[in-house]
Amino acid sequence: MAQHATPARGTSPSGAVPDDETTPARERAVEAWRGREQADSSPPVQLRGRTAPEPAERRVVELPAEREVPQGEGTDQPAAPQRGVLRRHPIGTVLGALALAILAAIGYLYYDYAAHFESTDDAFIAARQFSIAPKVSGYIAAVPVTDNQHVHAGEVIARIDDRDYRTALAQAEAQVDAAQASLKNLDAQIEVQQAQIASGQAQVDQAQAGLVFAQQQAQRYEQLARTGSGTVQNEQQYSSQLRQQQAALTSAQANLKVAQRQLESLQAQRDSADANLAQAEAQRDQAKLNLSYTTVTAAQSGRIVNLTAAKGQFAAQGTALTQFVPDDIWVTANFKETQLDHMRPGQAVSLRIDAYPEREIRGHVDSVQSGSGPAFSLLPPENATGNYVKIVQRVPVKLVMDNPPEDAALGPGMSAVPYVRINPAPSLYERLRSAL
């Protein structure tokens, strides 16, 4: 006889779940599942003339894990309100708000401080570097410097064999001595000639005095002969003496003129000798200069760069022996033209050299170039043709270092980052730091 399972609590014999709104949904679902399980487990009805089938394999179904049913779902009870983040994490919320406020304050301080400066990374050290070359040719006898050495003004960089130039100097000095001797000889001749002129002048004066006496004598004896008191012979004799005195005066005057003309010739020769002396002295001075050019020295303080001179090398005139970088260096900063509104000469500058990032170099704005960099290039841009796209130009600004480091090798082309203070008023950060 078949046994029937007792219906589960809260279910009908047919396994249906009673419609009880007060029963929770989870319990009703469990009871419905139990009712179906009992229905499946009841024995089958045996028909006449047929063999009853074997009972089917019984399956065990595992109930799902219980889950919390939110309040208000399937029930008439209202759902409880959820708590906010501030109530769930009060300490974290306060700390986050405090950190946000600190970050905002730090950001404002940084913005206010940075607004007092203009900066660019398009800046490089510049100098008027040049090559050192000898003015005379010859074999290099010595090179007392080495690569990257710092030298002062007047220090020797290279020496050229000077024997040929010393010989040329001795020859020029001999020519000067010869010119001076010739000049002295002419001076002596001029003195002799001046003495001869003085003697000729005396002869002229003597002839003039004799002429006057002869004229008086001739006049006297002519008067006596006319009155019969004197002889005709005496008259003729004194008339002849008068003519002789006249001829003597003329001869003396002619000799005086010759002596004077000879003096003028000697004066011209002396001028020529004086010019020859000046030429010889110029040649001697040039020989001295050529001799001095055999010693190549530094015209100013700086550093030896790219040294190519070597002992025994033949250096032609104008051949570069080395490159020279003076100590007078500065920074050329290519600021955007939109950064120049408040930039003026004399403003303070703080420089950071990429090669020495731990050092801060002080300086000031020296000048702002009158025009952009491309305007002075070999091929300046031509904006009047073709399509035009406006691009912010860069203008070179010369920054002079007030305290360049002496123990660091700074040279052209090294990168730098300048910070130009365009607003001299202290920022909030600086006021706070000074107050603290």
Place of tokens 């040329």: 168
The pLDDT of residue 73 is above 60:
no
| CATH code of residue 351 | 2.40.30.170
Specify whether 168 is located in the same domain as 289.
yes
Q: What angle do CA 350, 355, 358 make, to 5 degrees?
A: 55
Question: What is the per-residue pLDDT for 249?
Answer: 79
Residue 121 lies inside a defined structural domain of this protein: yes
> Under a CB-based contact definition with an 8 Å cutoff, are residues 8 and 32 in contact?
no
Q: Taking Cα atoms as reference points, which of 408, 376, 424, 373 lies closest to residue 120? A: 373
Residue 25 predicted with pLDDT over 90: no
Q: Are 269 and 198 found together in one domain?
A: yes
299, 247: one domain: no
Q: What is the mean pLDDT of residues 232-257?
A: 75
CATH code assigned at 192 = 1.10.287
Q: Tell me which residue range forms the domain holding 1.
A: 1-44+60-75
Residues 167 and 289 both lie in one domain: yes
- Whether residue 9 lies inside any domain: the answer is yes
The answer to whether position 80 is within a domain reads no
Q: What pLDDT score does 197 carry?
A: 78
Say if residue 169 is in the same domain as residue 287: yes
* CATH value at residue 300: 2.40.50.100
- Asked if the model's pLDDT at residue 42 lies above 90, the reply is no
Residues 6+ apart with CB under 8 A from 421: 116, 117, 347, 348, 349, 350
Of the listed ranges 46-60, 244-258, 343-357, 394-408, the one predicted with least confidence: 46-60
Query: Taking a C-beta distance cutoff of 8 angstroms, is the pair 315, 390 a contact?
Result: no
Selected residue with higher pLDDT from 303 and 23? 303
**Stretch 160-176: mean pLDDT:** 94
Q: What is the DSSP letter of 295?
A: E
Write the CA distances from 79 to 56, 75, 268, integer angstroms. Answer: 46, 10, 136
Please name the helix (run of DSSP H) or strand (run of DSSP E) that holds residue 12, with its range, or none: none
Helices (H), 135-231: 163-227
- Structure-block tokens of residue 295: 């010693």
Residues 308 and 402 in one domain: no
Asked if residue 137 and residue 122 are part of one domain, the reply reads no
Whether the Cβ atoms of residue 339 and residue 419 lie closer than 8 Å to each other: no
Residue 353 inside a domain? The answer is: yes
pLDDT in tens, 394-429: 999 999 999 888 888 889 999 999 999 998 888 888
CB 120 within 8 A of CB 365: no
| Token duo for residue 53 | 């089938």
Note whether 177 and 278 are same-domain residues.
Answer: yes
pLDDT band at 3 (very low <50, low <70, confident <90, very high): very low
**pLDDT for 36:** 62
185 and 152 co-located in one domain: no
Domain shared by 91 and 151, yes or no:
no
**Residue 180 located in a structural domain:** yes
Left if phi > 0, otherwise alpha if psi is -120 to 50, otherwise beta: which for 21? alpha
Q: Does residue 310 share a domain with residue 256?
A: no
User: What pLDDT shows up at residue 71?
Assistant: 52
Domain count, the chain: 5
Kindly tell me if the per-residue pLDDT of 374 is higher than 80.
yes
Q: Give the pair of three-digit tokens for residue 77.
A: 């009870």
Extended beta strands in 262-370, E state = 295-297, 302-305, 314-315, 322-326, 329-336, 348-353, 356-368
Contacts 24+ apart (CB under 8 A), 237-244: 238/214, 241/214, 241/217, 242/211, 242/214, 242/215, 242/217, 242/218, 244/214
Say yes or no: 138 and 286 in one domain: no
Strand partners, 326: 302
Would you say residue 225 lies in a domain? Answer: yes
- What the block records as the tokens of 159 is 């020496």
| Phi, then psi, of 421 in degrees rounded to 5 | -85, 105
Per the CB < 8 A criterion, the answer to whether 425 and 370 are in contact is no
The residue-averaged pLDDT of 156-179 equals: 94
Question: Could you tell me if residue 49 is inside a domain?
Answer: no
pTM over 0.95: no
Q: Which of 90-104, 156-170, 294-308, 332-346 has the lowest mean pLDDT?
A: 90-104
What mean pLDDT do residues 72-98 have?
Answer: 67
SS3 43: coil
DSSP codes, 356-408? EEEEEEEEEEEEE-SS-SGGGSSS---TTSS-------EEEEEEEESS--SSS
User: Which of 1-15, 33-47, 111-125, 132-146 is least confident?
Assistant: 1-15
CA distances from 74 to 77, 107, 311 (A): 9, 53, 107
| Per-range mean pLDDT, top range of 59-63, 188-192, 365-369 | 365-369
Q: Is residue 400 part of a domain?
A: yes
Question: Does residue 367 contact residue 411 with C-beta atoms inside 8 Å?
Answer: no
Contact between 337 and 394 (Cβ < 8 Å): yes
